[in-house]
Amino acid sequence: MVFSFFKKDPKDAKDRSRKGGSGARPGTPAGGRVPPAPVGRPLAEPVNRSLNRASLPSQRFATTENAIPDKELARSLAMETAAKIDAIESEMARDFLRPSQQNVGANTGGGAAVATQRLSATLPAPAAIASRDDDAFDAHGDALAGSIDAIEIHTSGAGSVIDETAILFANGQVEEAEANLRAAIEADDLGHARQMAWLMLFELINQRGDRAAFEKLTMDYALRFENSAPAWVDYVAAAAPRPGGGAPATTAGAAVVRLPNVVDANVVKPLEQLKQLAASHPTLTLDASGVRSIDLVGAELLLRVVNAFKRASHELIVQGAEQLINPLRAAIEPGRRDASDAGWMLLLEVFRLLGRQDDFDETGIQYCITFEVSPPSWEPAPPNMKTRAAAPAPVAATAPASDDPLAWRGVIEAEGEPFFGRLAALARVHKELAVDCGQLRRMAFSAASALLTLVMKLQQGGATVEFRNVNVMVGALFQLLGITAIAAVQLRRA
């Protein structure tokens, strides 16, 4: 049995089996061969979709006739959206269906695609895939054996490991970042980046507060490099970082995968991690507490995962499900027929999980008016699907304890406020600015990108910025994004 989030509708296979039976279809030529269907046939009209349907959505978006007069334009938009989903699912197939006997690459991770290119994985024969039963949830099936760990990196070991680890850490995937570094250090193929990798490992161990492991690594470092190791740093306890954006963790025996702030095509990676954890955990938690935006592609992918777990033996807990409501409402519009109804269907699923029948019925009526089909009927959520209140907001940016407005500490996420705003305000008065990052633990990738834009604007206005006492993990991210090319970055002394 194989569990697949992104499978074709079983009804398609049944139709094909009927067509291939002994009974010939009327009008079939003497040779028994059925002429191919016209390539340019119009897209199917929407059908009444029940939220408890026995199969996952088909490989393509469920499309509907657009309400605008120009039907050719509507058809074109629908085909483009379907093509986008096809491309994403093709990438997922390369990741999930890689045979388990393949060598496992060490340089992997959720954010690796930003900085590296992946080799195409060897896929099973199409006939073998088509013959599988995709209806059952089999966490130990072959599809899960080819996990994210089987992805090979196309670039050299040195630069890719450093860049990838910096991205993983910036996205809150601390455990994956450390595992990635340890594997690369053990393989000892880092070249000129060997010492940098060791320093990054020191920082990761320091931040998780493992003093014993830090001291042991100190002795190993001294023997390897004949040099003094970095000193232990006492970070402010209240500013401890919280894993974010897809970082797997374990809480009370349950595996946790956190969705990123923006749920779009990049939600593929957190969903990969969910499939990995399903192989060894009967209970899984999908944390949506930090979601702020959802597009139709991300909604389609997330909807398929939710539908898959509805028929699974695993228990899925959606934490902070209420955080999905506003982003989903922003992604849809009553009366507007998008190329996919995934946003509507996912919103209805969220209301079902939360037990909000009035909101479900109201949204169902709007869906009916928009797509001119009968809305799904209300039914309670399956017993293995549960919700949990959103986790408390992380201390993402604590105010500096000192009077210095440019003393950054803790974890800087999102758009970097209030820190970046203070920097911009001071730049209007002073043309030389020095930011103390001695207590800065981590900066999210999104915040670092915003910082790059801000520093460029400040530079154009005649101001210069220097970042002092930056830890090696944040420094590697600054190097990757190019911040070091427009601002002075002074790493913390070892």
**Domain limits, the chain:** 249-388, 407-491
pLDDT in tens, 200-221: 999 999 998 888 889 889 888 8
* C-alpha–C-alpha distance, residues 265 and 346, integer Å: 16
DSSP letter (8 states) at residue 24? P
Q: Which are the contacts of 101, defined by CB distance < 8 A and separation ≥ 6? A: none
- DSSP per-residue string spanning 319-349: ETGGGGHHHHHHH--TT---S--HHHHHHHH
| Assigned token pair, 41 | 């046939």
* C-alpha–C-alpha distance, residues 127 and 136, integer Å: 19
pLDDT in tens, 33-69: 555 555 445 545 554 554 444 444 444 444 444 444 5
Residue type, 443: M
Q: Is the peptide bond before 334 cis (omega within 30 degrees of 0)?
A: no
CATH for 407-491 is: 3.30.750.24
Residue 30, burial from CB neighbour count under 10 angstroms (0-12, 13-18, 19+): exposed
Do the first three CATH levels of 249-388 and 407-491 match, i.e. the same topology? yes
* C-alpha–C-alpha distance, residues 323 and 286, integer Å: 12
Q: Does domain 249-388 have CATH number 3.30.750?
A: yes
Q: Which are the contacts of 184, defined by CB distance < 8 A and separation ≥ 6? A: 106, 107, 157, 161, 190, 197
Alpha helices, H only, 190-335: 194-207, 211-225, 268-278, 296-310, 325-331
Name the phi and psi angles at 468, rounded to 5.
-110, 150
Closest CA relative to residue 415, chosen from 424, 405, 406, 428? 424
pLDDT in tens, the chain (494 residues): 445 555 544 544 444 445 444 444 454 455 555 555 554 455 455 545 544 444 444 444 444 444 445 556 666 666 776 666 666 656 554 444 343 333 333 333 333 333 333 323 332 333 333 333 343 334 434 333 333 232 233 344 456 889 999 999 999 898 899 998 899 888 887 888 888 999 999 999 999 888 888 988 988 888 888 888 888 888 865 333 344 444 444 444 458 899 998 999 888 888 888 888 888 888 999 999 989 999 999 999 999 999 999 888 889 999 999 999 999 999 999 999 999 999 999 999 999 999 999 999 999 999 999 999 998 999 999 999 999 887 655 444 444 444 577 899 899 988 888 899 899 989 988 889 999 999 999 999 999 999 999 999 999 999 999 999 999 999 999 999 999 999 999 998 75
Q: Which are the contacts of 175, defined by CB distance < 8 A and separation ≥ 6? A: 243, 247, 248, 249
Report the 10 Å Cβ neighbour count for 305: 19
Q: Count helices and strands (H / E) in the chain.
A: 17, 11
Q: Which are the contacts of 21, defined by CB distance < 8 A and separation ≥ 6? A: none
| Assigned token pair, 336 | 């507007």
Sign of CA dihedral 203, 208, 212, 213: negative
Report the 10 Å Cβ neighbour count for 105: 16
